[in-house]
Amino acid sequence: MDPNSASNNNSTGTVAPASNAMPCRTILASTIAKPYVQELADGLAVLGRQPKLVGFLANDDPAARMYADWSGKTCSEIGFDYELRVVDKDVLEEAIVDANEDDNVDGIMIYFPVFGGGQDQYLQQVLSKDKDVEGLSHLYVQNLYHNTRYLDPETKMQKSILPCTPLANVKILEYLGVYNPILPYGNRLFGRTITVVNRSEIVGRPLAALLANDGATVYSVDITGIQKFTRGEGIKLIKHHVAEVDLSLQEVAALSDVIITGVPSKQYKFPTEFIKEGAVCVNFSSEKNFNPEIKAKASLYVPSIGKVTIAMLLRNLLRLINNKQVRLSKTHV
């Protein structure tokens, strides 16, 4: 039996290497998600009711269907009330508006792609920001890009919502020790170099900004080229800035302590030979972007992150409920 296979888990959910094998450890998302799942269960107990999440499916994409079924199952396991609404593309906008106005619905998500491109971004903005569990509303993304942590900066009662997949990546890097807890909060990635292969508006670009805001040097790679995200010199600037760079993937990989991939293609494989010895490698794509030989190079490898993403999605849902309670209590004083 392959000692590195995921079926050979030990109790910590990591895979124990054979004594003479590569020192690489494969870390499963379920292990990293565990404390957050507990936090969610505790949060539900305090709340004393089952929050309702509605998911809209309006496409035939098998990946979206699978994710919808699987996220529904996870919600129910933890104790959230999940309802999948399968609707036709042409009535989706009205269906979102109905859910926005329905007091029984606490959170909403739309499984993408629906139409693809700009029309999907429009639909995402139709969704009320007060029910946006994925954190993709313009205000939340703008707060992320500007490193603004609260919706009410004066009173600091309502935390802004972070996009759940970028946030899941951050929690994974915290777990893996890439964040240095000895450094002050907000600067814990200082000195780290991270490559992110994906610059979509829903994951790669906000992720690069979030990591740069925490002090990292980030190379953001997409099919059009490579950009460098930093927070500028030392700790003077409060938010990231971006520059085009004239470096190859091989060159940025050689500089990188961490490589994060999110290419939605079966064929795509990150070239193993580019990876620095002992790098930390994380894949958030639903396809495997690293070859199995990754274990000869990486120190830590996270093959998929979905379970952590869902935990962050539900954490966002509790935060939305809390923010609403804060707003209501203000109007009743």
Ligand X SMILES: NC(=O)C1=CN([C@@H]2O[C@H](COP(=O)(O)OP(=O)(O)OC[C@H]3O[C@@H](n4cnc5c(N)ncnc54)[C@H](O)[C@@H]3O)[C@@H](O)[C@H]2O)C=CC1
What gap in Å lies between CA 285 and CA 283, rounded to an integer? 6
Strands (E), the chain: 25-26, 52-57, 81-86, 107-110, 193-197, 217-222, 225-230, 241-244, 258-261, 280-283, 300-302
Q: Write the interaction track for ligand X spanning residues 295-314; mark x where CB under 6 A is met and - where it is not.
A: ----------xx--x-----
Tokens 């039996």 identify what position? 1
What gap in Å lies between CA 60 and CA 83, rounded to an integer? 18
| 75 in catalytic set | no
Give me the least distance between CB of 134 and ligand GUE, in Å please.
6
C-alpha distance from residue 286 to each of 27, 52, 139, 163 (Å)? 16, 26, 27, 18
Site for ligand X in 54-113 (CB under 6 A): 63
Contacts of 147 (CB under 8 A, 6+ apart): 213, 238, 239, 240
Question: Under the criterion CB under 6 A, does residue 202 sit at the interface with ligand X?
Answer: yes
Amino acid at the residue 73: K
* 197: partner contacted, choices ligand GUE, ligand X, none (Cβ within 5-8 A by kind): ligand X
Give me the least distance between CB of 305 and ligand GUE, in Å please.
6
* 110: partner contacted, choices ligand GUE, ligand X, none (Cβ within 5-8 A by kind): ligand GUE
168 and 308 Cβ atoms separated by less than 8 Å: yes
Question: Under the criterion CB under 6 A, does residue 172 sit at the interface with ligand GUE?
Answer: no
Binding ligand GUE by CB under 6 A: which of 286, 296, 322, 326? 286
* 55: partner contacted, choices ligand X, ligand GUE, none (Cβ within 5-8 A by kind): none
Residue in 218, 211, 215, 150 with CA at minimum distance from that of residue 183: 215
Instruction: Determine the interface stretch with ligand GUE among 45-53, 104-112, 182-190, 225-233 (rule: CB under 6 A).
Output: 104-112
What gap in Å lies between CA 117 and CA 60, rounded to an integer? 16
246 and 227 Cβ atoms separated by less than 8 Å: no
* 221: partner contacted, choices ligand GUE, ligand X, none (Cβ within 5-8 A by kind): ligand X
* 264: partner contacted, choices ligand X, ligand GUE, none (Cβ within 5-8 A by kind): ligand X
Instruction: Determine the interface stretch with ligand GUE among 4-12, 83-91, 105-113, 255-263 (rule: CB under 6 A).
Output: 105-113
Binding ligand GUE by CB under 6 A: which of 193, 213, 306, 316? 306
Site of interaction with ligand GUE (CB under 6 A): 63-64, 67, 70, 109-112, 134, 165, 286, 304-306
